[in-house]
Chains A and B, each alone.
Chain A
Amino acid sequence: MCKEYILKWLQEELSICIDNQEDFCKSNYLESGLIDSMGFVQLIAEIEDYFEITMTEEDFENPELMTIYGLINLVEEKQSKL
Chain B
Amino acid sequence: MLIKLDHITYSISKLEYPIIHKKLESKGYQIKFSEINFKNPINKMELMIEFQEFSDMVYYEKKGFISIEVIIYKKIHMDMNTIEEIFEQNHCEFFVNDFKTMSEMLSIIGGKINNEREINIKNLIDKSIYVIKFNELSLKRTWLCDFNGTGCLTFLVNSCENMKNKLEDNNYICTEINEIKIGENKINIFFVSNEYGDFIEVISMVKKEKKDV
A interface residue numbers (CB < 8 A to B)? 5, 8-9, 12-13, 30, 37-38, 40-42, 44-46, 49, 57, 60-61
Contacts and interface: CB of A to CB of B under 8 A. Distances in A.
A13 B208 contact: yes
Contacts, number: 39
28 contacts: A5-B213, A13-B208, A13-B213, A30-B125, A30-B126, A37-B3, A37-B4, A37-B6, A37-B125, A38-B156, A38-B185, A38-B205, A40-B125, A41-B3, A41-B204, A41-B205, A42-B185, A42-B205, A42-B207, A42-B208, A44-B158, A45-B158, A45-B205, A46-B207, A46-B208, A49-B210, A57-B1, A61-B127
Interface of B: 1, 3-4, 6, 124-127, 156, 158, 185, 204-205, 207-208, 210, 213
Nearest to A36: B32
Contacts of B204: 41
Contacts of B6: 37
